[in-house]
């Protein structure tokens, strides 16, 4: 390795970086071929990457070499084609992680900077292999960094250059995995607590249209991941469902705050458009939740994997109770409209909770729900959801169905500690029917000619 | 809170939201359904939203769920019947298309089940049949189970609802929809007898359909009672045609004869008929069964009966199709949808174009006809034993037409010939005839006026005039023009005189001149003489003269005043001319002949000269109507000459009562002089009438002298 460093030192920055990428490619190919498990890139190589590609100072005495903007662009192009030309998936992944896995050192800053530029470029020119590697990266990396990458993309495509959002729009077809992780990252990033953390309309529109096209998109990571129980700590959620629920539920309050501000700017457009978009998005989220029983049953995970964490929901409800309380106090102008918005918030929350519960995305009892929602103002639907359906069925119009009620079977889960959703539940019947109609009666859809 | 109240609350909220925010409404219903999955109203509300928004896929999905989960809900059934209704209808509006699309999204198994159940719930036979038909069309495997039953149900319904015409909704459905499914299904095994019954049902329908009369107000033509046989004269435009119980569109049958041929081809193949399967025309078919017929006597048992059926069925179809084609040219007003104006009605009559030729040639077209009868060909049976006239003449008679006036003349004559051949074939063996008569009886062909017209013309063609007359008598009875039914053009009344005109022609052919004249004078009294005399083309005149034919030809004449009045005049001339040019003296008849010879002048010039010759021989001539009806300048000149010394001083008594005067005052020169003076004055006056419309004069002659004319014939 020392030899390589010696050969790289006299070169100019660009050719040194190029040479190192070339070397890395050969090195990793050999590594994969040797069949050693797990293939591990050695520290020396990682150091070379930091020195010659990320230009992180090896020690304080040496002035770090810098690349010009043009050189950097050339390097990015080289990297793009390098990943594009490498046909072996394993080699690409190892290379990507050698370059961009965070090491917890001071090189991480330049690593993030280069990664952001590379991914942004890959989006622009449609480099699918890079997006695929980035999707994996987004699954393994701490959410703080994931969110930073997402932010760069949103800035690049939604804020900086108007009209470029359509380029970003395409990622749902070029790399659904990356797209799914991107949605999870942005819903984590924009928590609607401040103006800055409210998603731009372009982004919102894009996500709504993605979901309308294909609700399965938000489940791509879940579908493609072997759940071993060893999810990296503090990584992004497996699905964006939690984040999306938070968006839809909080949106009426967040965008009302917006409205107050835009009134001073003179444009009320965002309020006009955001409302229906969130309504559509909320419906899509519920429809995605309805897809879950089949998918979870197929993976044998029904009743064992909580896609919505009670803790997250508890945070959401306490946020809500604070916001609603404040909204109530500030509602001088129109108490009626303020009340309507509060009810909309609570209706959506109740709907999300009920549908999640019924479809196995939320694993807790009604009692737990009551605890989570105890501090929220009154809402009819929420009340109904917390108390659950009336168990005797007295509807004169219909014949009661014997095997329907998925809720009667909730006791085994309720007895389960809700904060340990992945604990191996012995569940002898993974085909446990939450929706007896849908799960046992697959709909053989005939395409419409 | 009760479950019912919960559900009501949830559905109510969704309904409130649906117009302003449909997504929110759906979110409410999704939530509601997870709370109360067994509640019908929630799912129905979901379905309603999707259906009202005409979202095919999601509405189909929800309908499927409801069909599976709530199979006993009346509302679901109401919905399904709306959809199956749309499937049956031919409505093309957006909603109907949506409903059909909705049905298409459902899995085949569910479609099948839905249709079967919907069928069970139908009480109306027609609806039930249409529903079952939807099933059979979509799921060919169900044809085996339900096909024949459906067919029989339809045929029974026809009887139980006592529908008198085969062109009814049940038969239409059976013939056009069910039958093709049954016979084309390879898994079906049907006995030949059933297939033969079905092909005859189909034939009866298609023939009834093509030969349907023009209906008034788009209504079905009534039962074939006597009244409906009357030649219709009223509205003639293209009309809407609706079979009772069906829509206008499904009442329409495209290319009926071709469809019938299609069915026949399949049935033929299934019944193992002789001949190649690819026979594609009615004419080919006739040739084939003609050949087949030769072997018939040598066949026995089952082979024979199969062969018999083939010959009878094929010949019957060819017969009725050709007869229809002929009748539709000859009397188009009988049928709906034919362009009546393109070619008027035509009438088959004796050809009289040789009437102006010399007497001997034309003499006795009938008298010796029976002597020519040939029985040389042993296989040929007499047409009918009770008719003794003119059998031999039936072969090889010419039918003349004005080719310019009748564009499709060759097809028409060909159809007439083919129909006659089929008829002959059907009467060539007793067993064939028996079967044919059975078919005719069950179809009640006696009541088909158009077929009667063909039959009559065929009998006329065969020279069986006596038989033809009795057929014409029956036809005349139903064709009596009724008051109020006449069209202003006067043409309709002429169509209804068709039988009278043909009767006159037949009587003439039989040598019954007095009867002939009686009939034709009845006809003439109903005619309106044309205001202008038709200009004869040279070609027309030439043609008649150039051909030397025997006088036993027939002619298809347009059934119009313009053509019929000349024919009547010629026919009268023909009747009188034989009587006049004999040795006995009959001045009255001779006068009539002179009057009639004016028509088509100078064609009758030679006959006129012959008449003059006779007058000269007699040295006198008495005809008091002379100055009323003779306006021809050439004739007037000749008669004026006859009185002169050079002309032979013929004594002419042409003025009314002149004879009396002469007898009384023979000795008085002055009076004789007065007579001469009268004649001269009359001649001069007559010369000034030369420009008068001759047909008008002759028409008046027929009307005024009717009794005298008839009486002057024995």
- pLDDT 10s digits, B51-96: 888 888 888 888 888 888 888 888 888 888 888 888 877 777 888 8
Nearest to A21 by CA among A81, A64, A73: A81
Helix or strand or coil: residue B407? Answer: coil
pLDDT of A247: 92
pLDDT of A398: 41
A286/B4 Cβ within 8 A: no
Q: Which two tokens stand for residue B318?
A: 């060819």
- Residue A275's Cβ-count burial label (10 Å; 0-12, 13-18, 19+) is middle
CA B660, B666, B669, B675 torsion-angle sign: positive
A392/B3 Cβ within 8 A: yes
pLDDT of B28: 93
HEC letters along B502-536: HHHHHHHHCCCHHHHHHHHHHHHHCCCCCCCCCCC
pLDDT of A246: 92
pLDDT of A241: 92
Neighbours of B263 (CB within 10 A): 23
Angle of the B3-17 helix axis to the B40-52 helix axis, nearest 10: 10
Nearest to B136 by CA among B154, B124, B123: B154
pLDDT band per the 50, 70, 90 thresholds, residue B333: confident
Angstroms from B108 CA to nearest CA on chain A:
9
Q: Which of A397, A436, A446 has its CB closest to that of B106?
A: A446
pLDDT of B341: 55
Find all residues with CB under 8 Å of B596, minimum gap 6, and list them.
B569, B572, B573, B576, B604, B698
Q: Which of A283, A389, A390 has its CB closest to that of B27?
A: A283
Angstroms from B32 CA to nearest CA on chain A:
9
**Which residues of A are less than 8 Å from B31 in CB distance?**
286, 350-351, 354-355, 381, 385
CA-CA distance, A136 to A93, in Å (whole number)? 8
Q: Which of A397, A445, A448 has its CB closest to that of B41?
A: A397
**Which residues of A are less than 8 Å from B105 in CB distance?**
445-446, 448
DSSP label at A194?
S
Best residue of B38, B67, B138 to probe chain A, by most A CBs closer than 10 Å: B38
Chain mean pLDDT for chain B: 77
A395/B40 Cβ within 8 A: yes
Helix or strand or coil: residue A220? Answer: helix
User: What does chain B come to in residues?
Assistant: 714
Is residue B396's pLDDT more than 70? no
Nearest to B17 by CA among A437, A381, A288: A381
CA A236, A242, A245, A247 torsion-angle sign: negative
CA-CA distance, B89 to A92, in Å (whole number)? 61
pLDDT of B649: 82
pLDDT band per the 50, 70, 90 thresholds, residue B644: confident
Find all residues with CB under 8 Å of B288, minimum gap 6, and list them.
B274, B275, B279, B314
Helix (H) or strand (E) holding B159: helix B141-160
**Which residues of B are less than 8 Å from A403 in CB distance?**
none
Does any CB of chain B come closer than 8 Å to the CB of residue A444?
yes
CA-CA distance, B326 to B409, in Å (whole number)? 10
CA-CA distance, B541 to B602, in Å (whole number)? 10
**A positions 424-443 inside 8 Å of B (CB):** 435-437, 441, 443
Is residue B687's pLDDT more than 70? yes
B21/A286 Cβ within 8 A: no
**A positions 321-350 inside 8 Å of B (CB):** 347-348, 350
Is residue B671's pLDDT more than 60? no
pLDDT tens digits, residue range A362-412? Answer: 888 888 888 888 888 888 898 888 888 876 544 444 433 333 334 433 333
Neighbours of A206 (CB within 10 A): 25
**A positions 225-284 inside 8 Å of B (CB):** 276, 279-280, 282-283
Hunting for tokens 């139980």 — which residue is that? B160
Angstroms from B120 CA to nearest CA on chain A:
22
Best residue of B10, B27, B33, B100 to probe chain A, by most A CBs closer than 10 Å: B27
Maximum mean pLDDT: which of A7-21, A172-186, B187-201, B534-548: A172-186
Residue ranges of chain B whose CB lies within 8 Å of a chain A CB: 1-4, 6-7, 9-10, 13, 21, 23-24, 26-28, 30-31, 34-41, 56-57, 61, 64-65, 68-70, 72-73, 101, 104-108
Choice among B188-202, B431-445, B469-483 with the minimum mean pLDDT: B469-483
Is residue B487's pLDDT more than 60? no
List strands edge to edge, sheet with B554-558.
B346-350, B554-558, B399-400
Is residue B233's pLDDT more than 50? no
pLDDT of B287: 82
- Residues (pLDDT < 70) of chain A are 1-2, 58-64, 228-232, 256-272, 330-336, 391-449
pLDDT band per the 50, 70, 90 thresholds, residue B111: confident
pLDDT of B514: 87
**Which residues of B are less than 8 Å from A441 in CB distance?**
65, 68
pLDDT tens digits, residue range B586-606? Answer: 888 888 888 888 888 888 888
Q: Are B570 and B352 within 8 A, CB to CB?
A: yes
- Residue B399, φ and ψ in degrees, nearest 5: -115, 115
Q: What is the CA radius of gyration of chain A?
A: 25
Q: Which of B4, B37, B101 has its CB closest to that of A394?
A: B4
């Amino acid at each position: 390795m020392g030899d390589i460093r010696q050969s790289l030192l006299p070169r100019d920055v660009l050719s040194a970086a190029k040479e190192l990428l070339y070397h890395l490619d050969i090195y990793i190919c050999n590594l994969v071929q040797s069949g050693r498990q797990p293939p591990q890139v050695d520290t020396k190589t990682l150091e070379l990457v930091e020195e010659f590609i990320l230009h992180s100072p090896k020690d304080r005495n040496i002035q770090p070499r810098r690349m010009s903007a043009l050189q950097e662009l050339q390097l990015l192009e080289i990297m793009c084609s390098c990943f594009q030309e490498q046909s072996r998936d394993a080699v690409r992944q190892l290379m990507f992680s050698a370059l961009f896995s965070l090491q917890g050192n001071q090189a991480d800053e330049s690593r993030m900077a280069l990664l952001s530029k590379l991914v942004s470029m890959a989006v622009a020119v449609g480099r699918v292999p890079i997006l695929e590697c980035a999707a994996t990266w987004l699954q393994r990396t701490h959410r703080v960094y994931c969110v930073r990458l997402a932010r760069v993309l949103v800035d690049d495509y939604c804020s900086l250059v108007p009209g470029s959002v359509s380029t970003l729009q395409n990622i749902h077809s070029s790399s659904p995995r990356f797209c799914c992780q991107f949605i999870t990252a942005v819903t984590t990033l924009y928590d609607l607590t401040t103006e800055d953390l409210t998603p731009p309309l372009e982004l919102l529109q894009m996500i709504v249209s993605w979901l309308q096209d294909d609700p399965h998109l938000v489940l791509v990571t879940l579908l493609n991941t072997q759940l071993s129980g060893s999810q990296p700590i503090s990584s992004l959620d497996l699905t964006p469902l939690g984040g999306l629920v938070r968006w839809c539920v909080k949106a009426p309050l967040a965008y009302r705050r917006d409205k107050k501000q835009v009134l001073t700017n003179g444009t009320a457009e965002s309020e006009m458009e955001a409302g229906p978009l969130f309504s559509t998005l909320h419906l899509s989220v519920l429809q995605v939740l309805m897809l879950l029983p089949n998918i979870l049953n197929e993976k044998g995970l029904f009743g064992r994997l909580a896609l919505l964490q009670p803790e997250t929901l508890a945070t959401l409800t306490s946020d809500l109770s604070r916001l609603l309380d404040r909204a109530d106090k500030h509602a001088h102008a129109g108490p009626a409209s303020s009340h309507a918005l509060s009810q909309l918030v609570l209706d959506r929350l109740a709907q999300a909770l009920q549908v999640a519960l019924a479809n196995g995305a939320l694993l807790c009892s009604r009692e737990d729900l009551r605890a989570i929602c105890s501090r929220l103002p009154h809402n009819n639907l929420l009340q109904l959801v917390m108390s659950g359906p009336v168990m005797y069925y007295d509807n004169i119009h219909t014949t009661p169905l014997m095997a329907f009620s998925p809720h009667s079977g909730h006791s085994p889960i309720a007895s389960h500690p809700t904060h340990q959703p992945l604990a191996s539940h012995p569940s002898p019947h993974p085909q446990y029917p939450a929706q007896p109609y849908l799960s046992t009666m697959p709909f053989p859809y005939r395409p419409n000619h | 809170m009760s479950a019912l109240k919960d559900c009501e609350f949830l559905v109510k909220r969704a309904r409130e939201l649906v117009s302003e925010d449909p997504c929110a409404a759906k979110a409410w219903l999704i939530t509601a359904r997870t709370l109360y999955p067994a509640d019908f109203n929630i799912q129905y509300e979901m379905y309603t939203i999707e259906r009202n928004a005409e979202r095919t896929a999601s509405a189909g999905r929800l309908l499927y769920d409801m069909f599976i989960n709530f199979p006993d809900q009346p509302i679901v059934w109401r919905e399904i019947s709306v959809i199956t209704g749309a499937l049956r209808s031919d409505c093309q509006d957006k909603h109907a298309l949506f409903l059909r699309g909705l049905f298409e999204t459902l899995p085949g198994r569910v479609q099948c089940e839905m249709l079967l159940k919907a069928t069970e719930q139908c009480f109306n036979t027609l609806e039930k049949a249409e529903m079952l038909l939807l099933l059979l069309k979509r799921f060919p495997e169900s044809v085996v189970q339900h096909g024949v039953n459906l067919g029989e149900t339809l045929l029974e319904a026809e009887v139980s609802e006592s529908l008198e015409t085969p062109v009814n909704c049940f038969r239409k459905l059976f013939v056009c929809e069910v039958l093709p499914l049954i016979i084309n299904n390879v898994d079906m095994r049907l006995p030949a007898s059933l297939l033969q019954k079905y092909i005859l049902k189909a034939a009866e329908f298609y023939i009834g359909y093509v030969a349907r009369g023009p209906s008034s107000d788009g209504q079905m033509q009534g039962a074939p009672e006597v009244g409906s046989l009357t030649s219709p004269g009223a509205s003639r435009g293209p009309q809407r045609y609706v079979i009772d119980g069906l829509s206008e569109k499904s009442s329409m049958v495209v290319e009926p004869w071709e469809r019938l041929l299609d069915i026949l081809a399949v049935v033929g193949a299934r019944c193992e008929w002789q001949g190649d399967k690819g026979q594609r025309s009615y004419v080919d078919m006739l040739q084939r069964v003609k050949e087949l017929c030769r072997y018939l006597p040598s066949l026995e048992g089952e082979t024979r009966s199969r062969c018999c059926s083939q010959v009878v069925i094929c010949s019957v179809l060819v017969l009725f199709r050709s007869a229809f084609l002929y009748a539709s040219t000859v009397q188009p007003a009988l049928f709906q949808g034919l362009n009546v104006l393109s070619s008027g009605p035509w009438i088959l009559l004796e050809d009289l174009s040789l009437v102006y030729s010399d007497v001997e040639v034309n003499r006795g077209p009938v008298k010796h006809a029976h002597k020519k009868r040939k029985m040389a060909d042993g296989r040929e049976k007499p047409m009918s034993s009770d008719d003794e006239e003119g059998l031999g003449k039936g072969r090889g008679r010419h039918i003349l037409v004005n080719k310019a006036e009748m564009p499709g003349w060759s097809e028409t004559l060909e159809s007439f010939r083919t129909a006659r051949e089929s008829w002959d074939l059907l009467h060539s063996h007793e067993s064939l005839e028996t079967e044919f008569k059975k078919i005719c009886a069950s179809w009640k062909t006696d009541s088909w006026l158009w077929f009667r017209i063909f039959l009559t013309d065929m009998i006329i063609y065969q020279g069986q005039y006596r038989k033809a007359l009795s057929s014409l008598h029956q036809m005349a009875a139903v064709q009596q023009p009724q008051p109020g039914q006449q069209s202003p053009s006067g043409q309709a009344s002429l169509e209804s005189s068709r039988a009278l005109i043909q009767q006159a022609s037949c009587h003439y052919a039989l040598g019954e001149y007095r009867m002939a004249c009686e009939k034709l004078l009845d006809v003439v009294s109903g005619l309106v003489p044309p205001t202008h005399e038709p200009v004869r083309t040279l070609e027309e005149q030439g043609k008649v003269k150039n051909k030397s034919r025997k006088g036993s030809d027939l002619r298809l004449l347009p059934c119009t005043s313009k053509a019929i009045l000349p024919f009547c005049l010629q026919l009268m001339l023909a009747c009188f001319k034989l009587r006049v040019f004999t040795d006995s003296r009959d001045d009255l008849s001779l006068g009539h002949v002179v009057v009639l010879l004016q028509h088509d002048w100078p064609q009758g010039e030679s006959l006129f000269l012959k008449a003059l010759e006779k007058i000269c021989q007699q040295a006198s001539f008495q005809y008091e109507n002379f100055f009323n009806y003779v306006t021809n300048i050439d004739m007037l000149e000749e008669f004026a000459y006859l009185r002169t010394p050079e002309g032979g001083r013929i004594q002419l008594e042409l003025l009314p009562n002149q004879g009396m005067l002469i007898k009384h005052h023979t000795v008085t020169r002055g009076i004789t002089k007065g007579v001469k003076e009268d004649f001269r004055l009359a001649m001069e006056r007559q010369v000034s009438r030369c420009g008068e419309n001759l047909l008008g004069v002759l028409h008046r002659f027929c009307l005024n002298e009717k009794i005298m004319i008839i009486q002057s014939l024995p």
